[in-house]
Structure 1
Amino acid sequence: MKTNASSQKIVLITGASSGIGKSIGEYLSEQNYKVYGTSRNPSKITHPPFKMLALDVTKKETIAAAIAQVITEEGKIDVLINNAGVGITGPIEETPDEEIAKAFETNYFGPIKVIKAVLPEMRKQKKGLIINITSIAGYMGLPYRGIYSASKGALELTTEAFRMELKDFNIKMTNVAPGDFATNIAAGRYHAPVRDDSPYKEPYGNTLKLMDQDVDAGKDPLLMAKAVHRIILEKEPRGHYKVGEALQKFSVGLKRILPDKVYEKMLLKHYKL
């Protein structure tokens, strides 16, 4: 294993080929971090702005190989950013079981696999930071995005438990929950089809259009990159951060204080249901 005498921090980012992951990688590279990004097919990326490795968060052997390569080349991993994820929409009743399982494999079980693989190395180093990119949708059950909300919410809660379990090893962990950002997530999202014979046809179809509009009008992913950099610089990161439109962040606070039925009506009004 190579000993890295440099003070330069080594960052590993999953799902770094586009969107938020790519923006974080580019920005951290500009701030003099050594960035390793990952994607399932890095050979398809032309002129990557930082080194890309092959990694599929659903396959342990690719996780182990990528982490081993970073350790061999750099001697350490200072920061892991679990960003890889997939979108999924549809009436829960009509969403195929196999698609629900795929979403959880990528959004929840995948990050857990990567965390498990990197923790022994961080324990050897006696330090490390793990940042899980979740979603403001993970704080509430959103109509026609219930599976996505659940997968991100599960990671939020698991991080809370991890933080307490890791406290003796000087390994920090936190969640960063973005709202809507202008990325290509909608293009890669699994959509349960809007069926002509479905009782959900009209409300689901309308909600789908609204969701895509929200993404198209979303914030610049650079804001997420800067937020992540600020967290890296913190000595004791909090457990949860939210980045996005003020109203989206405010909605999380409202959920804590409003009666369930009032909050539900607020969401129904937003989605015009």
Structure 2
Amino acid sequence: MPKVVFITGASSGIGKAIGLHLHERGYTVFGSSRNPLKYTGSIPFSLLKLDVTKPETITEAVAQIIDKAGKIDVLVNNAGVGITGPIEETPTDEIRNAFEINFYGPLHVIKAVLPQMRKQQSGHIINVTSIAGYMGLPYRGIYSATKAALEITTEAYRMETKQFGIKMTNIAPGDFATNIASGRYHAPVLENSPYKNAYGATLEMMNTHVDAGNDPIDMAEAVQKIIETKHPKIHYKVGAVLQKFSIVLKRVLPDKTYERMVMKHYKL
């Protein structure tokens, strides 16, 4: 009997790539989108209406999957939003929104699927975080913080749910060629801002990195391997070698040396 996989944020980018890849390999895939009707006919797997900031839509989507498939073997918590800007100039409402989607949202979805997974005495939750969550990056500090929060929470959650036969894993992508840059919140580059030149140049560099990023199929293949691994690791990283190596450098270099390296990279 094929495994049932539930992927949030599956109408585009990494989520869509994972959904298509698993669907083509015989998995029963349910994706989610805030506006599934927009994608009718263009996506071959089921797409349910869900907004991670609205728990009632999550409960409804999970109930639909259980009603149709009778189980949920894997949850891929992929829905997320980008946010850039000088922290001082980023509106508090936008900071809250980023945490609502990138941190509280996945927690809501986990909470909704756990009763079914406990009942099954099996299940695997894969949280899509980010390599940016391993370090504070200039003008991406809030995004880094949301993903770091999910990384650490997963470590704790994993230990709490192991007794029920449930696995939990983080997978941290680097830059991938997706539409995240067009969908992210950019604090405007203000004419009279003391950050104008540095932020403007960094924003341009970040968008270039995303446009030149890896193919999302790399993430899809990595997720399949994790699903099919009997004893998965806690943390996985997927992306360019240098991006993954930056995590190792942060671990071994003195803090100020690493900070100088990051600032040099961003020409700050």
Identify the TM-score tier after normalising by the shorter chain: over 0.9
What is the one-letter code of the residue matched to 1:144? Y
Structure 1 residues without counterparts, runs of 5 or longer: 1-6
Partner Cα separation in structure 2 for residue 97 and residue 85 of structure 1: 18
1:250 aligns with 2:241: no
Secondary structure at the aligned position of 2:75 is classed as strand
- The equivalent residue for 1:13 is 7
Partner Cα separation in structure 2 for residue 195 and residue 110 of structure 1: 31
Q: How does 1:120-159 map to 2 (within 5 A)?
A: 120-159=115-154
**TM-fit CA distance, 1:46:** 3.5
- The equivalent residue for 1:27 is 21
What is the one-letter code of the residue matched to 2:196? K
Partner Cα separation in structure 2 for residue 172 and residue 59 of structure 1: 25
Secondary structure at the aligned position of 2:256 is classed as helix
CA-atom RMSD in angstroms: 0.5
Secondary structure at the aligned position of 1:111 is classed as helix
1:264 aligns with 2:259: yes
Structure 2 residues without counterparts, runs of 5 or longer: none
Q: How does 1:1-273 map to 2 (within 5 A)?
A: 7-47=1-41, 48-273=43-268
Q: How many residues align?
A: 267
**TM-fit CA distance, 1:69:** 0.2
Q: TM-score, normalised by structure 2?
A: 0.99
Secondary structure at the aligned position of 1:32 is classed as coil
Percentage of matched positions with identical amino acids = 69
Moved >2 Å (runs of 4+): none
**TM-fit CA distance, 1:90:** 0.1
What is the one-letter code of the residue matched to 1:225? A
What CA deviation, in whole Å up to 9, does each residue of 1:99-144 have, x standing for no partner? 0000000000000000001000000000000000000000000000
What is the one-letter code of the residue matched to 1:21? G
**TM-fit CA distance, 1:208:** 0.1
What is the one-letter code of the residue matched to 2:40? T
Partner Cα separation in structure 2 for residue 238 and residue 20 of structure 1: 21
